Every structure is written in C-alpha cells, then in structure tokens.
C-alpha cells in the first residue's frame, strides 16, 4: 500500500473516534461519578468539572500504555499483505461501537464500551477473513476476555462488600461511630493512596524504560500511604469536626486546617420557599423581569446565553431523586440509615477514590477509541502493517477532549440510572463501591485483561447494597435486569453494525 492512501478512511476514522470517545464519556465516565453524585458528596456540576480534569489527565499521561492491548482479539497477521483492510476493520469497529454506546446512553443503559469495541472489531474481522481472523483461546483471545467480563462484576461485588462490611461492623453500627470514624477514615485514605499510587507508578510510561521493579513501586506506594493517611489524620478529620460543629470553613481550608483560626457559624437566611410559602405573584414578576432583562441585551449576548444553556444542559439535571419511581422508593425505604455525622467523614474519601478511579479509567478506556484510530493513522502514514503502534500524544489529547464533551453534555442519562436507582447511596456506601470497583479494574489492567469498568461498578454497587442492609430487597433488580440485558446485546449489536459497514466499504462497486 502506498503511504497516504485511503485518506477517506483516515478522515472518517477521526470523526468516528470522536463519537466513540464521546460515548465513553457519556457512559463509562458517568458510571465512575454516579455514586458520588447520588450520595450527595458532589453536585452533578462539581462531578463533571472534576471528571473532565481527571479523565483528560489519565488519557494524556497513561493512555498510551494500553492502546495496543485492545486490538488483541484480532489476528493482525491476517492483514500483513492488505494493511488497507485493517484500516477498514478499525473504522468499521468505531462505527459499531460508537453507534451502540451512544444509543444505549440515550436510554440510560450502563453498557461496556470495551464490550462494544471488541464486538465491533470481531464483527468486521469475521466478515473480512472469517473465523480465522480472531483469536479464540484462553491465553490471549476472546475466551479470556469473556471470562474476565463475567468475573469482573462478581469480583467487584465481593471486594466492595468486604470493604463496606469492615466499615459497617467496625464503625457504622456502633453508638460511638463518630469517634471510631475519626481514627478509621485516615486508614482508608492511606490504603486508597497506596493502591492507586502502586498502580500509577508501575504503569507510568517513563518508568518502564528504567525497569522499575515491583518492590520500588511498593516502597513509593508505602510513602503515599503515610503521607495521605497522615494528612487525613491531622488536617481532614479536624476540618470535618469543625464543619460539623458549625464553623464557616471552605473546602480549601482542609489543606491548612491547623492554621485556620476559629470561625463563626455562617449566617443563616430564611428562605420562604423552604418554609412552604410560595408567593406566586412575586415569582411571576421575577420571571418576567428576568426575561425582559435578557431581551434587552445585545443580540450576540443573547446568542451566547443560548449557547451556554445548551452546553450546560447536561449538568443542570436532577439525577439523584426519583419521586415517581415506586420501586426505587421501596428499596430506599428499607435501607438502613447510619449516623449523618459519621457519614460526613466518608464524603471527601469518596471524592478522593472517585477522582483516582476516573484517572485510572481515562488511562485505560481511552484505548477503546484511540487504539483503532492509532492503527488507522499509522497505516495511512507509513503504508505498512505494524504489530506495534505508537500513539502520538495529540491523538490521546483528542480522545480525552471528546470524552469530556460526552460527559458534560450526555452523561446525566447514565448517572440517573446508575445512582440511587440500583440501591440507596451514602458516602460510606459510595466509597466502598468505588474502591471495590477500582481494585478490580486496576488488578485486571495489570494482568492485561480489558475488563469493563461498567460491569465492575454495577457489581460493586449490588454487593454493597446487599451487605449494607442485609436484604436482597434493598436492591432494585428490575434496573439490574435491564442492565444485564444491555450487556448481553452490546457485543452482537456493535458487531452487526461493524460487519455491515465493513461489507459496504470492502465489497461496494468501485470506479478505480
């Protein structure tokens, strides 16, 4: 193949990779922060802002290390003599994956983008060369990946249930749970820092060239345990205690707590709306005044406000409350309540794990869209097949931006479904869910298994819901069955679309 041939595949590849990354943001990233929002540790707007930074950073810093792994199910040697067909296979897989994931996101279905990507690759490769084009074995093929998909929600559910069970019986169920949390939460801060630091250090691209040994990563992670755990003990815990006592502290004071003098409680204003008093006339007058003010502005300002409303449409949604869903209300009604002051200690801990989980997700799942695009770009530029493809940093940044846009504009659909709809969420429950899912995904990543973060989070949420309340009725099995159905059809649906696109491109009549 001549270099710079089939430019139309490259152009369409960039377009579809954008939409595939968009779908990842709308679905998988929404999963990562759904528990933080539903437990009210973060508002939807805060979660989106944090996720945009952490996902982008994960994709840009560590994303290149995994972009080659996602193509593992395809026998690339089948395409050695016809690299342009591999370009078309990758393009078709992006069509299949992006179309299904975006459709599923519109329905609020938490599906696996890894499922969709591998389904698309498999469907296109099967049309190209039949069953011989795929690796089917347990060592490095489809069977190994399918087993990992099945095992990941089970493993995540067990791990998350153990984490919450420890918190429940050591802290939450005791009369002095508030005092116990003062000493136990710093341990979890340190343990979480140890886990994430060990993973990030061992995975960092620059450190691989230095042949970083496992024990070095262990030592560095141990330092992170001491530093973060010590910060939580001497800065975070006193900050929470002072906030609960009524002092007017801001979030940034948590980093300088010992140096902040005593602060008076914030002024409390009485909102007539909260008292049940509704002045309809005043409301109408205020609304009319606001409309008149907007109408009086210059045309470009009105246009800018319209654009702003469209852009922020996805962060102005209520994804926490479900007053009209009686099944959800029934699950929440039998859920056990723990002391609110004790739960407060877990709020920032949950945010911390959600941020680290999001960073890990950005580094891992950006490969779903960027892996196929990198292959297309490499073949277009060189005209040759290569079993190992380097991913330019600007392509990683391209995928990271698209992920952020997907979360910002469309992620609320899945957040609404995966939050309080499966089970009742609180900060302590959300922390156990996120850490359990993270441990599963990070361990699988070290073993080079492209597991689903979605499956892991749903499994972890279910495990925590059961053990926290001691009852299966605390889990909304209707929503879970809907999720299981969407998981089942993801691979074949993405595969069918990809197969159709590949067939159209490969076997259509040509003027050449």
Percentage of residues of the chain with pLDDT beyond 70 = 84
Residue 161 CA to residue 164 CA, distance in Å, equals 5
pTM here? Answer: 0.82
Q: Using an 8 Å Cβ cutoff, are 84 and 5 in contact?
A: yes
Q: At 25, is the pLDDT very low, low, confident or very high (cuts 50, 70, 90)?
A: confident
Q: Using an 8 Å Cβ cutoff, are 60 and 52 in contact?
A: no
Q: What is the pLDDT of residues 353-380, one digit of tens each?
A: 888 878 877 776 777 778 889 889 989 9
Pick the residue with more confidence: 255 or 446?
Answer: 255
pLDDT, the chain, mean: 82
Residue 447 CA to residue 139 CA, distance in Å, equals 11
Q: At 39, is the pLDDT very low, low, confident or very high (cuts 50, 70, 90)?
A: confident
Q: What is the pLDDT of residues 280-321, one digit of tens each?
A: 455 445 555 556 666 677 777 767 777 767 666 666 676 676
Q: Using an 8 Å Cβ cutoff, are 418 and 34 in contact?
A: yes
pLDDT of residue 277: 41
Q: Is 410 helix (H, G, I), strand (E, B) or coil?
A: helix
pLDDT exceeds 60 at position 273 = no
Q: Give the pLDDT mean for 450-478.
A: 86
Closest Cα partner for 475 from 463, 485, 465, 467?
Answer: 465
Q: Degrees (nearest 5) of the Cα angle 90, 96, 100?
A: 145
Residue 351 CA to residue 36 CA, distance in Å, equals 7
pLDDT of residue 198: 81
Residue 10 CA to residue 62 CA, distance in Å, equals 24
pLDDT exceeds 90 at position 96 = yes
Q: What pairs with residue 134 in β-bridges?
A: 74
With a CB cutoff of 8 Å and minimum separation 6, the contacts of 61 are 204, 363
Q: At 460, is the pLDDT very low, low, confident or very high (cuts 50, 70, 90)?
A: very high
Residue 293 CA to residue 290 CA, distance in Å, equals 5
pLDDT of residue 272: 40
């Amino acid at each position: 193949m001549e270099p710079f041939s089939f430019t139309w595949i490259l152009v369409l590849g960039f377009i579809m990779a954008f939409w595939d990354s968009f779908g990842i943001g709308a679905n998988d990233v929404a999963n990562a922060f759904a528990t933080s929002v539903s437990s009210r540790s973060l508002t939807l707007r805060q979660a989106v802002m944090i996720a945009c930074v952490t996902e982008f950073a994960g994709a840009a810093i560590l994303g290149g290390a995994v972009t080659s792994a996602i193509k593992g199910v395809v026998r690339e040697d089948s395409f050695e003599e016809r690299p342009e067909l591999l370009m078309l296979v990758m393009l078709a897989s992006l069509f299949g994956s992006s179309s299904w994931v975006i459709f599923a996101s519109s329905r609020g279905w938490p599906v696996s983008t890894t499922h969709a990507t591998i389904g698309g690759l498999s469907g296109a490769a099967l049309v190209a060369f039949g069953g011989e084009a795929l690796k089917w074995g347990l060592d490095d093929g489809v069977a190994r990946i399918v087993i990992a998909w099945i095992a990941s929600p089970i493993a995540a559910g067990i791990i998350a249930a153990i984490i919450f069970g420890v918190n429940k019986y050591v802290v939450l169920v005791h009369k002095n749970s508030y005092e116990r949390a003062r000493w136990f939460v710093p341990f979890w801060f340190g343990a979480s820092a140890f886990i994430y630091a060990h993973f990030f250090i061992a995975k960092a691209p620059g450190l691989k060239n230095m042949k970083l040994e496992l024990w070095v990563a262990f030592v560095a992670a141990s330092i992170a345990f001491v530093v973060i755990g010590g910060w939580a003990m001497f800065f975070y815990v006193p900050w929470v205690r002072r906030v609960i006592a009524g002092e007017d502290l801001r979030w940034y004071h948590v980093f300088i707590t010992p140096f902040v003098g005593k602060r008076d409680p914030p002024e409390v204003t009485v909102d007539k709306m909260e008292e049940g008093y509704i002045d309809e006339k005043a409301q109408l007058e205020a609304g009319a005044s606001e409309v008149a003010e907007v109408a009086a502005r210059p045309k470009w300002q009105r246009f800018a406000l319209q654009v702003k409303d469209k852009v922020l449409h996805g962060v102005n949604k209520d994804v926490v409350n479900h007053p009209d869903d009686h099944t959800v209300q029934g699950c929440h009604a039998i859920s056990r309540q723990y002391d609110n002051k004790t739960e407060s200690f877990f709020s920032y801990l949950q945010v911390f794990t959600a941020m680290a989980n999001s960073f890990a997700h950005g580094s891992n799942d950006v490969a779903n869209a960027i892996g196929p695009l990198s292959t297309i770009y490499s073949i277009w530029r060189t005209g040759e097949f290569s079993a190992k493809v380097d991913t330019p940093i600007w392509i990683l940044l391209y995928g990271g931006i698209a992920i952020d846009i997907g979360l910002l504009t469309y992620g609320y659909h899945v957040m609404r479904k995966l939050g309080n709809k499966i089970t009742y969420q609180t900060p302590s429950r959300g922390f156990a869910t996120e850490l359990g899912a993270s441990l599963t995904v990070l361990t699988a990543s070290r073993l080079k298994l492209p597991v689903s973060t979605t499956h892991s989070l749903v499994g972890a949420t279910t495990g925590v819901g059961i053990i926290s309340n001691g009852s299966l009725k605390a889990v909304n099995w209707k929503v879970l069955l809907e999720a299981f159905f969407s998981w089942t059809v993801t691979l074949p649906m993405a595969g069918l679309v990809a197969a159709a696109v590949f067939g159209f491109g490969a076997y259509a009549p040509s003027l050449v």
